[in-house]
Structure 1
Amino acid sequence: MKHIFQHIKGDRAIWAIVAILAIFSFMPVYSASTNLVYVVGNGSTLGHLVKHIVLLIFGFAIIYGTHKIPYRYFSGGSVLMLPVVIILLLFTMSQGTTIGGANASRWLRIPFVGMGFQTSTLAGLVVMAYVARYLAKNKEKQIDFKESFINLWLPIGAVLILILPANFSTTAIIFSMILMLCFIGGYPLKYLGYILGIGLIGLTFFVLVAKAFPNAMPHRVNTWQSRIENFWKGEAKEDYQVEKAKIAIATGGVTGKGPGKSVQKNFLPQSSSDFIYAIIVEEYGLAGASIVIFIYFLLMFRILVAARKATTIFATLLVIGVGFPIIFQAIINMAVAVNLFPVTGQTLPLISSGGTSIWMTCFALGMILSVSASKNETEETIMDDNPLDILHETLD
């Protein structure tokens, strides 16, 4: 065991928090998978648990491998990966598949593996690293809006436009996190106002086009509209998922019904992924739910510590850019389960089942740990990295 710890670098508290969340996820996933087994008729509960454990093991391997990469490589790597991500998103839109009822254009089937990959999650990480690189590179310069629009916002806009038709919530999260990162990175507030206005106009235009040509993107805008309307009406007929989640939470009480004793898991769709927090509240009560919230906020604190200790501006922005979306996604998932937000389809990081979510979260955590494990570096070293040089080093 001591030999293993010698190879683990970075913030040990983050390693411990990730391990705690992963181990805790075993029982909720095992319990909630009965819906997939007995209602949907998909596999066995033990099979779903084993699959989840295997995904987490690979996830820890991703964290370990990523945290061994010098974080400066993520700067040039984001430039190399941006066109790759755009191509993947285009391919996903045309060749996507349906997995567990999810929208066809969200997922890309991986050949010979039998698994789906949600390309928007990878796109989010690449975009945040790209934004961090741009802000760090221009830290001492007076930013020109035209130049930044071409070099920063046009690539970002291309990515968001390709994600939007199938996944509005992910698009909104990525865009919000980009605005937050730009604010922290010193991007002029006046220009951020311009970008926010352009984004709202673009979204309005997209909705109008989707309404005018409903066959192009069937049901997507109507789905967003119905979710928002159901949320704001309050007394109107509840969405089935929200109704079952509220029943699960109401019957959980302070201490819960006990592990594996949830009743609503048999009726709640996506009980092992999007609405797993409702199952946690039902089985572990207010006490268990509060502990989960505390762990995520502890993770946020350690992310802030890693950002504070970073030795370069790029490292600080990278940690915030890839770390805060994890916490934000967790807050949204839990808020949806308790009916504070409309249904979004966001999973609970490291607890919900699902390979893409687990692996991309682990990739982000590996990047954070790479920063916290790094020795002192200068900003010039980071920014002088040529993407072609990084590609050459990788090939060598």
Structure 2
Amino acid sequence: MKQLINNLKGDKGIWSFVALLALFSFMPVFSASSNLAYIGQGNGNTLGYLVKHLAHICIGFAIIYWIHKVPYHYFRAISKVGLPVVWILLAYTLIKGTVIAGANASRWIQVPFIGITFQTSTLASIVLFMFVARYLSKTREEPITFKASLWELWLPVFFTLILILPANFSTTALIFSMILMLTFIGKYPLKYIGIIVGSGILFLAFFVLLSKAFPDSRFFSRVHTWESRIENFSTDKPDEDDYQIEKAKIAIASGKIYGLGPGKSVQKNFLPQSSSDFIYAIIVEEYGLIGGLGVLALYLLLLFRFVVASHKANSLFGKLVVIGLGFPMIFQAMINMAVAVELLPVTGQTLPLISSGGSSIWMTCFALGIIISVTKKEEEIAQELKDAAKREEALQKLIDKQLEEEYSIDNDYSIEDKAKNPMNAVLNK
């Protein structure tokens, strides 16, 4: 175990906070999965869900360990090559989106021969953020023109978002917002960003109008869900999402300061998606306001380590990769918690590293592995500088020692010469 820990390179703070979030996730997942156990098995046995979550976490940490060994500059080329692959996966998802528990889940695909479902938009977001970071770092020393960036940057970005939008508006909005933030930090001209924002709003309006013109089209089937969620959030009209929010608020109110205790949640038996989308409500019910704020603090500390890692990165690509992959992770957590307390309409965003689910955990760990790879490189550079300083200090000591010995020998010879020289005796007389 000690040898394994010594092999973990990179920012130890990121490793620590990720491990704490993953370890804490076992308790709420084990408790909240009772609802799934009753529905799926009929006996309420949650042990299988706990073992499954353990397997997901272990595979996730194996992904982090493997990815953080890869030099992060390799991902510059991977992002360019991987984007067409992502487009194929997203198009396939739109056409062959699977059904989970009888519900429309067009954002998921079934992986052949394995039997697991995979949300392609999570992989697409990682590849897209690296692609944007690659472009901004490449053009930093060159003047940016809107025409050139429109073809090289925004056309691939918008094409990717168009493939995600019909199945998942919240993920599309999150990715688009993070890309705007990334371009702003990368010093992309602000006037061009304004044009892109306006274009995005116009395209969304056009997409909604098309959905009204073709209401029976499968391509626009999710638009009605978006509208109903926004309408339910702004009015008191009862709906299934409103039912979820009400149960989540009851769970949070029941937790009070110290909570009901681990495993003692009541609303987990009534709240749909209690182990994924609304797991934060179960955390507050069982661990109280203290537990809820503790989870929030861990995410904020992780955000702080991302900021530090970005500041220490010696290349612009490394800085932008840490921001592009790290910040969306934290914002997704904030959105999940905001939905649970009804600050935002229901979005379907999970709580990273805590909610149950395989592909979401693995993609989060994939992004974390790349971030840690950036910090590992900076750690290696710092260690090389430290070793070079030690070698220089040792060499200086050796030179000083040799000079001291030569000076001592010269003094000894001068004394002997004075004693043996006969002219000295004459001069002394």
TM range (shorter): over 0.9
Whether contact under 8 Å (2:53, 2:356) holds in the other structure is: yes
Report the CA distance between 1:39 and its aligned residue: 3.4
The answer to whether the aligner puts 1:252 opposite 2:255 as a matched pair is: yes
Describe how 1:63-82 pairs up with structure 2 within 5 A: 63-82=64-83
The answer to whether the aligner puts 1:240 opposite 2:243 as a matched pair is: yes
Report the CA distance between 1:376 and its aligned residue: 8.4
Moved over 4 A (4+): 375-378
Q: Is the partner of 1:374 in helix, strand or coil? A: helix
Greater shift after overlay, 43-52 or 140-149? 43-52
Whether contact under 8 Å (2:14, 2:302) holds in the other structure is: yes
Change (3 A) 1:72 1:298: same
Whether contact under 8 Å (1:311, 1:376) holds in the other structure is: no
Whether contact under 8 Å (1:120, 1:170) holds in the other structure is: yes
Structure 2 stretches lacking a partner, 5+ long:
382-429
State the AA in 2 paired with 1:63.
Answer: I
Report the CA distance between 1:99 and its aligned residue: 2.0
The match for 1:314 is 317
Report the CA distance between 1:350 and its aligned residue: 0.2
| 245, 265, 269: which one aligns with 2:268 | 265
- Give me the whole-angstrom Cα distance separating, in 2, the residues matched to 1:44 and 1:121: 30
The match for 1:53 is 54
Q: Is the partner of 2:117 in helix, strand or coil? A: strand
Report the CA distance between 1:297 and its aligned residue: 0.1
The answer to whether the aligner puts 1:327 opposite 2:330 as a matched pair is: yes
Whether contact under 8 Å (1:39, 1:266) holds in the other structure is: no
- Give me the whole-angstrom Cα distance separating, in 2, the residues matched to 1:296 and 1:375: 23
Report the CA distance between 1:37 and its aligned residue: 1.1
State the AA in 1 paired with 2:343.
Answer: L
Structure 1 stretches lacking a partner, 5+ long:
379-396
The match for 1:16 is 16
Greater shift after overlay, 369-378 or 82-91? 369-378
The match for 2:225 is 223
Q: Is the partner of 1:98 in helix, strand or coil? A: strand
Greater shift after overlay, 206-215 or 290-299? 206-215
State the AA in 2 paired with 1:299.
Answer: L
State the AA in 2 paired with 1:230.
Answer: N
The match for 1:173 is 174
| 287, 293, 298: which one aligns with 2:296 | 293
Q: Tell me how large the CA RMSD over aligned residues is.
A: 1.5
The match for 1:193 is 194
- Give me the whole-angstrom Cα distance separating, in 1, the residues matched to 2:334 and 2:156: 28
Report the CA distance between 1:40 and its aligned residue: 4.5
Whether contact under 8 Å (2:256, 2:285) holds in the other structure is: yes
Which structure would you say has the larger Rg?
Answer: 2
Report the CA distance between 1:140 and its aligned residue: 1.3
- Give me the whole-angstrom Cα distance separating, in 2, the residues matched to 1:344 and 1:102: 16
Instruction: For residues 60-104 of structure 1, give each alpha carbon's deviation from its aligned partner in whole angstroms, at most 9, with x where no partner exists.
Output: 000001100000011111000000000010111111201245533
Instruction: For residues 2-32 of structure 1, give each alpha carbon's deviation from its aligned partner in whole angstroms, at most 9, with x where no partner exists.
Output: 2112211000111111111111000100111
- Give me the whole-angstrom Cα distance separating, in 1, the residues matched to 2:5 and 2:266: 41
Greater shift after overlay, 106-115 or 235-244? 235-244
The match for 1:390 is none
Change (3 A) 1:101 1:302: farther
Q: Is the partner of 2:135 in helix, strand or coil? A: helix
Report the CA distance between 1:377 and its aligned residue: 10
Q: Is the partner of 1:195 in helix, strand or coil? A: helix
Whether contact under 8 Å (2:326, 2:367) holds in the other structure is: yes
Report the CA distance between 1:41 and its aligned residue: 3.7
The TM-score normalised by the length of structure 2 is: 0.86
- Give me the whole-angstrom Cα distance separating, in 1, the residues matched to 2:2 and 2:182: 38
Q: How many residues align?
A: 377
Q: Is the partner of 1:260 in helix, strand or coil? A: coil
- Give me the whole-angstrom Cα distance separating, in 2, the residues matched to 1:173 and 1:83: 21
- Give me the whole-angstrom Cα distance separating, in 2, the residues matched to 1:310 and 1:275: 36
State the AA in 2 paired with 1:128.
Answer: F
Report the CA distance between 1:185 and its aligned residue: 0.2
The answer to whether the aligner puts 1:96 opposite 2:97 as a matched pair is: yes
The match for 2:126 is 125
Q: Is the partner of 2:106 in helix, strand or coil? A: helix
Instruction: For residues 199-245 of structure 1, give each alpha carbon's deviation from its aligned partner in whole angstroms, at most 9, with x where no partner exists.
Output: 00110011111111111136411111111111112x44361111110
